Chains A and B, each alone.
Chain A
């Protein structure tokens, strides 16, 4: 007797909020096109029972100074591009990145300590050189982040940049700068569903609409706590589909940063033979970190290796059934 199996499907009441990045000329910016993320009404890549109107996208991480402490694998792969953020961003765009994640590390008070005005000028130069939407990060030190991001927000008003990072201890200035200049804010919480929701509440209470917030759940690298991020993201996305408003924002993961700072992606010598070739190992580390985050609901994966951009674009397309 042939058995008839009914394919079990799940219908969700909730939907991830769509967040648009970048603005065209008509919209008050200068981008050739915009990138919208979010909008899912199903779990990651389960298109047989719900919609994924906007597939996840790859952002390429670009610094405004040569990253001295990066893995030799990355520095070799990018070559001279890392000496100039404009060239670097252009190459990343040519490789298929949909977004540029520009880190203004030149402003690090313990480093070059470049001024907010200089950093804002760098952002303008990159905006002029590539027509993709930009994510812009400060140096990662609260006070300087605020000074730098305010200057950037004002100088590039209307471009609908995504500015980060907002954290529970430091979000007001950045959120205000986004509010006043038409940008999107990135909020990071430390791998915790409730703290992420709390941060979303704080940010939106200042008047920033939810369709201008991205959630960064803090990414654990492969082998360094990735499973915590993975499960927190699955729970956040679950909440979103069940209709919990404060979990319905798109997710962004700093995959490259976390994957490539680990010993596994840096060390060529003094490691077991079973670790294999360093260049391949580093790439595997970034790719699997990216795949895991995508599988858990990521909408934007920020990558470092030039080859990862194309590979993960291909993986996303195939997971989308294209």
Chain B
């Protein structure tokens, strides 16, 4: 968090010389706090004060980058404990683990890195692959890391506590900026040298206590590594939640720089099954994970996990909305059905998806409901007959179709009377409640309605 005006004032010369253009040092400090001035405008500020103020204006949780180019993953820079306080900014990277002594490591890595899925127009994917030195052998590790790197272009995490194995693996992949995992109480000096030599971010693992973790992180920082990721070593779901919560609080609320870094978790290590792993990974998505390394990679659970991540990292202040207007699907003509829904993105995309799947050319009128779903908007009075009528009139559908039927979402069937009142000459039909039932409705129910005309 930024400093207050008073905290900044304490660091200024307090001579009120006015050279910064402000009448007093205090006024200048207030401008600085409001980020409306630059510290360099004061020629008399001491070097020590400059350093202190620079450090204080750095984000409380450092933004750490793993990977390069298109595959770059940036994690950190978070400012709140709860998404409703503002928003969460940098979604955690989801990685899957392969072992260096696993026969198909390269192929498995390729599957993971190639995984892509689209949702509400956004591409979702795993961040990359974590290669573990399970063999304990440096040459095996180096070979496997190289194979994996060649097979896939995702971000990489190298898992080994042996500096010799790390040193053997790094040269071939250092330009991919992998995360080195991990420095611990025993090996940290050697790991720090490797991180510095290859300019790679370094994970610091210490399971003893948060004090021990902070001490180790301090040593690593002092030795010259700035890009750090922390592992408090807690593995059980309860201990992990406690540790992640405490570290986030220390960074945000106590401004403790020593632990102001992204966190890494391994949800599979405390899970009794692949299903439990998914649940615990979900917990880390919600509660402060930065890098999440999975032991199972199954599209069916990854898709659900990536969807959760998308939801949790949506800015609560900006619900994703689509433009309220008329959308045409397929080769529409004057006999095409006309559906109505709200401009909440998820509502729109689920309706649009089903309309598309039905193969029936259809008009979809999106009514402005302030980005809320049908039921919520209706309950909040944002999706009523008047609003619907207004959109219908404004969008010009009357010139596009020769019939006068408009299909309302099933959940707002009670609105049909009022809609007909607001739109003389139109008949309001009650459509399906769920998007899933739109296709059968368009294919079977709609023809019987127009047939009866």
A291/B282 contact (C-beta < 8 A), A224-B346, A274-B116 known: yes
Considering the complex, give the chain A residue whose CB is closest to the CB of B310.
A223
The answer to whether A231 touches B300, judged by C-beta atoms less than 8 angstroms apart, is no
- Distance (Å) between the CB of B430 and the closest chain A CB? 11
Q: Which residues of A contact B270 (CB under 8 A)?
A: 318
The answer to whether A5 touches B211, judged by C-beta atoms less than 8 angstroms apart, is yes
B434 at the interface (CB under 8 A from A): yes
The answer to whether B434 touches A315, judged by C-beta atoms less than 8 angstroms apart, is no
Bound-state CA distance A267–B215 (Å) is 52
19 further contact pairs, Cβ within 8 A, besides A5-B259, A238-B82? A3-B218, A5-B210, A45-B241, A46-B241, A190-B375, A190-B380, A224-B373, A227-B311, A228-B376, A231-B316, A263-B436, A274-B116, A276-B299, A281-B300, A284-B303, A287-B279, A295-B282, A315-B237, A318-B280
A190/B379 contact (C-beta < 8 A), A5-B259, A227-B311, A311-B273 known: yes
Bound-state CA distance A45–B211 (Å) is 22
Considering the complex, give the chain A residue whose CB is closest to the CB of B252.
A8
B27 at the interface (CB under 8 A from A): no
Instruction: Name 11 A/B residue pairs within 8 A (Cβ), A-sorted.
Output: A223-B119, A225-B346, A231-B82, A263-B436, A264-B303, A264-B307, A274-B299, A284-B275, A284-B304, A288-B278, A288-B282
Q: Which residues of A contact B283 (CB under 8 A)?
A: 291, 295, 319
A7/B300 contact (C-beta < 8 A), A231-B316, A320-B238 known: no
Q: Which residues of B contact A230 (CB under 8 A)?
A: 83, 286, 311-312
A285 at the interface (CB under 8 A from B): yes
Q: Tell me the chain B residues, 167-217 only, with Cβ under 8 Å from chain A.
A: 209-215
Leading 6 A-B pairs by shortest Cβ distance: A276-B300, A276-B299, A321-B238, A280-B300, A190-B379, A284-B304
The answer to whether B279 touches A291, judged by C-beta atoms less than 8 angstroms apart, is yes
A311/B275 contact (C-beta < 8 A), A5-B250, A234-B82, A281-B300 known: yes
A295/B238 contact (C-beta < 8 A), A275-B303, A280-B300, A284-B278 known: no
Q: Tell me the chain B residues, 248-265 only, with Cβ under 8 Å from chain A.
A: 249-250, 253-254, 256, 258-259
The answer to whether B242 touches A263, judged by C-beta atoms less than 8 angstroms apart, is no
Interface of B is mostly: helix
Determine which of A45, A190, A263, A266 lies in contact with B353 in the assembled complex, contact meaning CB atoms within 8 Å.
Answer: A263
| Interface footprint category on A | 35 or more
A179 at the interface (CB under 8 A from B): no
The answer to whether B307 touches A227, judged by C-beta atoms less than 8 angstroms apart, is no
A3/B311 contact (C-beta < 8 A), A263-B436, A315-B237 known: no
Q: Which residues of B contact A275 (CB under 8 A)?
A: 117, 299-300, 303
The answer to whether B286 touches A5, judged by C-beta atoms less than 8 angstroms apart, is no
Q: Which residues of B contact A281 (CB under 8 A)?
A: 300-301, 303-304
Bound-state CA distance A222–B310 (Å) is 10
The answer to whether B376 touches A8, judged by C-beta atoms less than 8 angstroms apart, is no
Bound-state CA distance A91–B307 (Å) is 32
Q: Tell me the chain B residues, 2-16 only, with Cβ under 8 Å from chain A.
A: none
Determine which of A47, A191, A267, A283 lies in contact with B275 in the assembled complex, contact meaning CB atoms within 8 Å.
Answer: A283
Bound-state CA distance A273–B114 (Å) is 13
The answer to whether A5 touches B350, judged by C-beta atoms less than 8 angstroms apart, is no
Please encode chain A, from 260 to 293, with 1 for each CB lying within 8 Å of some chain B CB and 0 for all others: 0111101100101111111011011101101110
A2 at the interface (CB under 8 A from B): yes
The answer to whether B84 touches A261, judged by C-beta atoms less than 8 angstroms apart, is no
Q: Which residues of A contact B435 (CB under 8 A)?
A: 263
The answer to whether A3 touches B214, judged by C-beta atoms less than 8 angstroms apart, is yes
The answer to whether A321 touches B239, judged by C-beta atoms less than 8 angstroms apart, is yes
Q: Which residues of A contact B402 (CB under 8 A)?
A: none
- Distance (Å) between the CB of A8 and the closest chain B CB? 5
The answer to whether B305 touches A288, judged by C-beta atoms less than 8 angstroms apart, is yes
A292/B278 contact (C-beta < 8 A), A3-B211, A223-B119, A280-B301 known: no
A-B contact count (CB 8 A): 188
B115 at the interface (CB under 8 A from A): yes
Considering the complex, give the chain A residue whose CB is closest to the CB of B114.
A274
Considering the complex, give the chain B residue whose CB is closest to the CB of A282.
B300
Interface residues of B (CB under 8 A from A): 82-84, 115-119, 209-215, 218, 236-239, 241-242, 245-246, 249-250, 253-254, 256, 258-259, 270, 272-273, 275-276, 278-280, 282-283, 286-287, 298-305, 307-308, 310-312, 314, 316, 344, 346, 350, 353-354, 357, 373, 375-376, 379-380, 434-436
Bound-state CA distance A295–B280 (Å) is 11
Q: Which residues of B contact A270 (CB under 8 A)?
A: 357
- Distance (Å) between the CB of B343 and the closest chain A CB? 14
Bound-state CA distance A234–B249 (Å) is 17
The answer to whether A266 touches B436, judged by C-beta atoms less than 8 angstroms apart, is yes
A93 at the interface (CB under 8 A from B): no
- Distance (Å) between the CB of A5 and the closest chain B CB? 5
Q: Which residues of A contact B256 (CB under 8 A)?
A: 5
Please encode chain A, from 240 to 276, with 1 for each CB lying within 8 Å of some chain B CB and 0 for all others: 0000000000000000000001111011001011111
The answer to whether A276 touches B210, judged by C-beta atoms less than 8 angstroms apart, is no
The answer to whether A276 touches B298, judged by C-beta atoms less than 8 angstroms apart, is yes
- Distance (Å) between the CB of B314 and the closest chain A CB? 6
The answer to whether B298 touches A280, judged by C-beta atoms less than 8 angstroms apart, is yes
Q: Which residues of B contact A278 (CB under 8 A)?
A: 300
Q: Tell me the chain A residues, 208-248 only, with Cβ under 8 Å from chain B.
A: 218, 220, 222-228, 230-231, 234-235, 238
Considering the complex, give the chain B residue whose CB is closest to the CB of A280.
B300
Considering the complex, give the chain B residue whose CB is closest to the CB of A192.
B380
Kindly name the residue among B209, B210, B283, B310 whose own CB sees the greatest number of chain A CB atoms within 10 A.
Answer: B283
Bound-state CA distance A272–B302 (Å) is 14
Bound-state CA distance A223–B306 (Å) is 10
- Distance (Å) between the CB of A314 and the closest chain B CB? 6
The answer to whether A272 touches B118, judged by C-beta atoms less than 8 angstroms apart, is yes
A315/B249 contact (C-beta < 8 A), A46-B242, A235-B84 known: no
The answer to whether A223 touches B346, judged by C-beta atoms less than 8 angstroms apart, is yes
Please encode chain A, from 187 to 207, with 1 for each CB lying within 8 Å of some chain B CB and 0 for all others: 000111001000000000000
- Distance (Å) between the CB of A51 and the closest chain B CB? 14
Q: Which residues of A contact B308 (CB under 8 A)?
A: 222, 226, 288, 292
The answer to whether B238 touches A4, judged by C-beta atoms less than 8 angstroms apart, is no
- Distance (Å) between the CB of B342 and the closest chain A CB? 12
A311/B279 contact (C-beta < 8 A), A234-B82, A261-B436, A288-B305 known: yes
Determine which of A3, A225, A290 lies in contact with B258 in the assembled complex, contact meaning CB atoms within 8 Å.
Answer: A3
A222/B434 contact (C-beta < 8 A), A46-B245, A276-B299 known: no
Bound-state CA distance A276–B302 (Å) is 9
Bound-state CA distance A291–B277 (Å) is 11
- Distance (Å) between the CB of B303 and the closest chain A CB? 5
Determine which of B237, B304, B353 lies in contact with A319 in the assembled complex, contact meaning CB atoms within 8 Å.
Answer: B237
Q: Which residues of A contact B118 (CB under 8 A)?
A: 272
- Distance (Å) between the CB of A177 and the closest chain B CB? 24
Q: Tell me the chain A residues, 6-40 only, with Cβ under 8 Å from chain B.
A: 7-8
Determine which of A226, A285, A318 lies in contact with B237 in the assembled complex, contact meaning CB atoms within 8 Å.
Answer: A318
Kindly name the residue among B273, B279, B303, B305 whose own CB sees the greatest number of chain A CB atoms within 10 A.
Answer: B279
Considering the complex, give the chain A residue whose CB is closest to the CB of B270.
A318
A222/B84 contact (C-beta < 8 A), A190-B380, A315-B237, A318-B276 known: no
